[in-house]
Chains A and B, each alone.
Chain A
Amino acid sequence: MTTTATTSDAVTSAPTSTGSTATRVLGAASLVGIALLVVFGVFVSPPDKELGETIRILYMHVPTVSVAYLAFVVTAVGSAMYLWKRTEFWDLLAASSAEIGVVFFGLTILNGMLWGKITWGVFWRWEPRLTTTAVLFLTYIGYLAVRAVPASPRTRGTRSAVVGLLAVVNIPIVHKAVDWWRGLHQERTIFGTLKPEIQGTQAFAAYLGLMVFLLLFAWLLIHRFRVAFLAERAAESGLEGAIAERRQEAGQ
């Protein structure tokens, strides 16, 4: 832990939160984007010819699942980099990204179920993409469980980096397996009915949704990383404090 001259800036304006100019800009842009998305996704854009009103759920469903996959790729990159460089940054980045991915995966499943209730009349069918999402959701719950087990930073980092890499490799395999598995049972799927050329305000809402959730992901990732970094420092100073107390007790 070296305290260099550059830290004097940080000390004079010591941050009391995980916010910064960058996060405030990202946060404001996200809020504006969400407001616009609600306007266009819920009110302005017309219902789809085939999907009807249910397309309004897809304006969130598609971005959440895309961003979740992006988050897991970030986790995998962070995991690989941690095993190579062994620096705290990559470990905390991987962990922060995984948690956000799990949240977005949970939302994807909930949105998919609500979409299914309208389209199929039931909350759950073994639709390939929804099934894949459920399996991978549980896979990454396992990643978070490994991180929650108390251990030294290096041990915890190594364990979770291996899980992060084993899990990301499973994504295409699960996709393929589930696709073949459901191959004989063609039914109305979430993405199968989405035509590639949705137009006008529909296309605008779709792209806007993706942008909004990408901004949200960036905003959340910065905050979550800073929280993880603070948690490490707090654990260290807690440990140092405890050691100092013991020393005093021992009369040293």
Chain B
Amino acid sequence: MSSTGYIVAAWLVTFGVTAGYSLWVVLRGRRLSQEVPPEQRRWMTAGSRGRE
């Protein structure tokens, strides 16, 4: 592989992995949101500040 190939590979890997990880996080959030009662879905509103 030429040096151009490795540079292109570096960009593809970096943003590919970042996109893949982001997608995994977001989809997990959607799935978990369905499992949790609406009023408990956000830390800001669920009043968990004193929770351990």
Instruction: Show the binding face of A for B, using Cβ within 8 Å.
Output: 1-4, 6-7, 9-11, 14-19, 34, 38, 41-42, 52-54, 56-57, 60-61, 64, 86-89, 92, 103, 106-107, 110-111, 114-115, 117-118, 153-154, 157, 216, 219-220, 223-227, 229-231, 233-234, 237-238
Contact = CB atoms under 8 A, between A and B. Distances in A.
The number of chain B residues touching the other chain, given as a range, is 35 or more
20 contacts: A2-B47, A9-B45, A17-B29, A18-B33, A42-B7, A53-B4, A56-B7, A60-B11, A89-B43, A111-B10, A114-B7, A114-B10, A118-B7, A153-B52, A224-B25, A229-B42, A230-B35, A231-B32, A234-B32, A237-B40
Nearest to B22: A220
Nearest to B29: A18
A233 B40 contact: yes
Nearest to B38: A14
Nearest to B27: A17
Interface of B: 3-4, 6-7, 9-11, 13-15, 17-18, 21-22, 25-26, 28-30, 32-43, 45-52
B6 A86 contact: no
Shortest beta-carbon contacts, A-B, top 7: A18-B29, A14-B38, A230-B32, A10-B45, A118-B3, A114-B10, A233-B36
Nearest to A41: B11
Nearest to B18: A216
B14 to A, nearest CB: 5
Nearest to A8: B39
Contacts of A1: 40, 46-48, 51
